[in-house]
Amino acid sequence: MRILRAKHLGMCFGVRDAIDLALRKAAHQPLTILGELVHNENVVSTLRDRGIEIETDLNAVETALVMITAHGTSQRTLDQARGRGLNVTEATCPLVRHAHQAVARFVTTGYHPVIIGKRDHVEVRGITDDRAEFDVILNEADVERLEVRPRFGVAAQTTQPFDRVCALVTLIQKRFPKSEVRFADTVCQPTKQRQSAAVELAEQCDLVIVVGGAHSNNTQELVATCRRHCPRVHHVQSAFDLRPEWFAQGETFGITAGTSTPDSIIDAVEQAITNTGLSRIFEGTKGDANRPQVLESAKCGTIESVFSAG
């Protein structure tokens, strides 16, 4: 058995900084985070264990201090929070903030904003909620529904695959040859690195495990990318989601992870896969009582060791 890790995987600096900020603030006074700080259930659970409140409704916030997530929010929401007398701390990733600024520049210079991303994603809502007019697209059918505009300003949700973004920009240019189409590359570098590394990994593997939150967009995109290059791909949130039968066939197994996945969880997944390999070696040579227990030995992991690596 051979286990390969993607060259780029796991937590990005924006997520690490957001978690660090939340823990430091919560150590001094009660804190409420407006929404999930990051889309990873293990991280969110650990934050709750530290006494941090998480609310999706601003009106339900009871602490004096409220934090905006790494995904950012609209100026309207910030104004509403401050209007209630709340002390607002922003954990917005600087690369998400760059996307906000790019769209704002489009609007002030007369371009109709088009965002490539998922309409209901919190990051996209934060970018668009302050805008009177905008379009959100994700596929060719969405491009076909765009109305004619003299100027289009195109930006992207930071976790969209760059090849998809480029393809949709090209489609807009072809559909509206008489319009001016400007593109601001707002796909973040960690996303590009993880997508590229996922392709390289998947092409070498019999099976790929993608580790990340169930609702993490960048993790879902990694799963889709890997499936284009490897016949067997599974999305797990922790080592407890692994199934020994997945590893009954094949010799090379890959691991990649979304940008909100702690190092400890990735390590636990790798250890569980290693234990599965040992089970295969011993299978048929010793009784069941002596076979290694694959999943029971793997710990889920928390964010305690997030900051110890890289």
Query: DSSP string spanning 87-127?
Result: EEEE---HHHHHHHHHHHHHHHTTPEEEEES-TTSHHHHHH
Closest CA to 93 of 75, 66, 70, 74: 70
Backbone phi, psi, residue 214, to 5°: -65, -30
This prediction has a pTM of 0.84
- Cross-strand pairs, 182: 153
Residue stretches of the chain with pLDDT short of 70: 277-310
What pLDDT is stored for residue 280 in this prediction?
52
Alpha-carbon span 158 to 162, nearest angstrom: 9
What pLDDT is stored for residue 301 in this prediction?
39
For 289, residues 6+ apart whose C-beta sits below 8 A from its C-beta are: none
Active site residue ranges: 123
What pLDDT is stored for residue 37 in this prediction?
85
